Amino acid sequence: MTVPLQELDDPALLEAHRAGDTEAFAVLFTRHRDRLWAVALRTTGSPEDAADALQEALISAYRRADSFRGDALVTTWLHRIVVNACLDRLRRNKVRAAQPLPDDLDEYAARGAVVTGPADDDQDPEAAAIRSDRRRTILAALDRLPPEQKAALVLVDMEGYPVDEAARILGCPSGTVKSRCARGRHRLAALLAETGITGTGSGAAASEKSDPLMRPSREEKRAMPGGGVQR
Amino acid sequence: MTGPDDELLPDGVPAFGDPAYDDLRTDLAGLRATDPMPADVAARLDAVIADLSGSAAPVAASAAPVPDDQPEPAPVVPLRKRSRVGPRLLVAAAAVVVVGAGGIGLAQVVRDGSDDLKTSADSAATGATAPGAAVDSDSAAESPELDEGTPAAAARVIVLTTAGFDAEVRTLLATAVAPTASEQLPEAQDGLTRSASPLPTPGPADLEEQRNALKDLDSALLSQYATTKRADCAPVVKGATTVPVVLDGRPAVLAVFEAADGTVRVEARDCTGSVVLVSTDIPD
């Protein structure tokens, strides 16, 4: 008696896919696609880029199933491929002088209060407008961060992944994830301070001109074409 | 407060665990994306998987393992240039549309099982598919006339009627997009697995009715399609995505034209591609 695919765990599904089951991968991807979508959406900052990155990742994962060595969770492996696809896309899209606002801002605005204020503020149009504006501003500022810092903040601070898990997804040491998060938060706070949003932390007063974090870090320089110059 | 494994941070930058940015972290946590993947994206990715599964590039026979952190070469599937409606239809091609006196019933044949149904559906495109092969990749390779080379589509039959064309096409498209992940997962029932369409929202009794309807599906009609070589009804329709169908019991082709304004025109044409049998306009 054949066990239905949806009853298989992730490693078994991947193994079935490797063995030639034409539907196993679809079941595996469907199982995790909402979380992968969330990460892709927040990492790329736009639904279109997220969809394209996911498609790239999907194809990559499908074809690279044999590269999964089993030393991490299948979900970690999938997230890693998705995040890499998002980062590749961000790097390709980078040097955008005027960063457009994320496309799903209306969606955020309609989702109600999370960032500030009590829940009953939902009844107050002015409070809702302020919240919406705040979300919009934070997401726009997030899009101005270097891709690696943004990805670290999305995984750790937004999606709530433990640092170690985020490190496995990003393919770097845990200390690097912490560093990227710390730098990213500091830079984000500075960007938000420029827009008048306060209360985001002690580093909010840092300005882009004076803040060394507004310059690429060593690792970011290494990731740049040409490698940058070591500080 | 820098931890031992924190990389060196510039002066004035609070360490990872410093509470200075707790408010900011709260803000970021509140921006977590919680909505499910949009249906159009899901359908698009499902179509990609169908493409990949159909092409059946033997994953087990792929090259040496690539480290996880090595970027994959550029994928071959075009991204945004790809039709948003075409894939929906191709995904929908995995659905068998049963048109009966009681209206339209939809069931998606997901895995092999019921021999009579599977054989009728699969053989429609493959001629003689061995039992147990839900989608035969070899037969897929023999069906290059499918516009997007989707062998999954080649293994199924879309059955439409002139009288109900408009509603059936809309239902077909909705069926391709709307089902959630869990709804699309196969459910084994006497060897026949399927998922119900969200339209017209059948309950358990309806599912059973659909199941029976599928079993009672006019085998002669499908046999007629099966005995017609796909190449005999695969006209090239300029500017359209095409999908083979059965219309009123005869082989035909569904041609999908996408206008720049987002309007989609769906035509059923005869096997010459020159005669429009029935058509409808639908929003993208």
Q: What is the DSSP string of A101-130?
A: PPTTHHHHHHT--SSSS-GGGGG-HHHHHH
Closest residue of chain B to A104, computed from CA coordinates: B33
Whether the Cβ atoms of residue B152 and residue B93 lie closer than 8 Å to each other: yes
User: Would you tell me which residues 99-158 of chain A have a C-beta closer than 8 angstroms to some C-beta of chain B?
Assistant: 107-108, 111, 114-116, 134-135, 138-139, 142, 153, 157-158
What the block records as the tokens of A52 is 């394209």
Chain A partners within 8 Å of B12 (Cβ): 186, 203, 206
Q: Do B44 and A30 touch (CB under 8 A)?
A: no
Q: A191 near A199, Cβ under 8 Å? A: no
Distance CA A78, CA B10 (A): 33
Compute the average pLDDT of residues A130-143: 87
Please, are residues B197 and B171 in contact by the beta-carbon 8 Å criterion?
Answer: yes
Question: Half-sphere exposure of B8 toward its Cβ, with a 13 Å CA cutoff?
Answer: 6
Predicted confidence band at B47 (pLDDT cuts at 50, 70, 90)? confident
Q: Do B10 and A158 touch (CB under 8 A)?
A: no
CA dist A203 and B94 (Å) reads 55
**Does the pLDDT of residue B254 top 80, yes or no?**
yes
Residue B136, pLDDT > 60, answer no
What is the pLDDT, as a whole number, of residue A62?
92
What are the DSSP E strand ranges found in A19-101?
A: none
Mean pLDDT of chain A: 77
- The string of pLDDT tens digits covering residues A181-220 is 999 999 999 998 887 766 554 444 343 344 444 444 555 4
**DSSP secondary structure letter of residue A155:** I
DSSP H or E stretch at residue A222: helix A218-223
Q: What's residue B239's pLDDT? A: 80
- Name the residue with higher pLDDT: B14 or B284: B14
d(CA A134, CA A29): 33
Helix (H) or strand (E) holding A53: helix A47-63
Residue A56 predicted with pLDDT over 60: yes
- Mean pLDDT (whole number) for A56-67: 90
Q: Which residue from B169, B142, B164, B139 is spatially nearest to B243, judged by alpha carbons? A: B169
CA dihedral B105, B111, B113, B117 (to 10 degrees): 40
Distance separating alpha carbons of residues B57 and A138, to the nearest angstrom: 43
CA distance B15 to chain A (A): 6
Confidence of residue A167 (pLDDT cuts 50, 70, 90): very high
- Residue B88 pLDDT: 57
Task: With beta carbons less than 8 A apart as the criterion, state whether B217 and B226 touch.
Answer: no
Residue entry with tokens 């999964």:
A68
CB of B71 within 8 Å of a chain A CB? The answer is: yes
A65-74 per-position pLDDT tens digit: 888 888 889 9
Asked if pLDDT for residue A48 goes beyond 70, the answer is yes
The pLDDT of residue B23 is 87
The string of pLDDT tens digits covering residues A9-45 is 999 999 999 988 888 999 999 999 999 999 999 999 9
B148: enclosing H helix or E strand: none
- Rounded Cα distance, A66 and A70, in Å: 10
Q: Which residue has the higher pLDDT, B94 or A93?
A: A93
pLDDT at A53 over 80: yes
Length of chain A: 231
State the average pLDDT over residues B236-264.
79
Q: Which residues neighbour B229 within 8 Å (Cβ) at sequence distance 6 or greater? A: none
Q: CB burial class (10 A; 0-12, 13-18, 19+) of residue A202?
A: middle
The whole-number average pLDDT for the span B150-164 is 59
Of residues A190 and B11, which shows the higher confidence score?
A190
Highest averaged pLDDT of the listed ranges A17-21, A181-185, B55-59, B71-75: A181-185
Quote ipTM for the complex: 0.73
Q: What is the pLDDT of residue A57?
A: 93
Query: Side chain identity at B88, as an amino acid letter?
Result: R
* The token pair that represents A55 in the structure block: 């498609």
Task: Give the pLDDT score at B249.
Answer: 73
Range with top average pLDDT, A185-189, A194-198, B18-22, B180-184: A185-189
Residue B151 pLDDT grade (very low, low, confident, very high; cuts 50, 70, 90) = very low
Q: Is B137 helix (H, G, I), strand (E, B) or coil?
A: helix
Summarize the confidence of residues B201-222 as an average pLDDT: 48
* Least-confidence region, from A75-89, A158-172, B269-283: B269-283
**Mean pLDDT, residues B52-79:** 44
Please give the pLDDT value at position A185. 93
C-beta of residue B181 within 8 angstroms of C-beta of residue B257: no
Pull the structure tokens for residue B101. Answer: 């006196």
Name the band, by pLDDT with cuts 50, 70 and 90, for residue A1.
low
Across the interface, do B66 and A67 touch by the CB < 8 Å criterion?
Answer: yes
Choose the weakest-confidence range: A51-65, A177-191, B173-187.
Answer: B173-187
Chain-chain contact of B21 with A159 (C-beta, under 8 angstroms):
no
Residue B71 has pLDDT above 90, yes or no: no
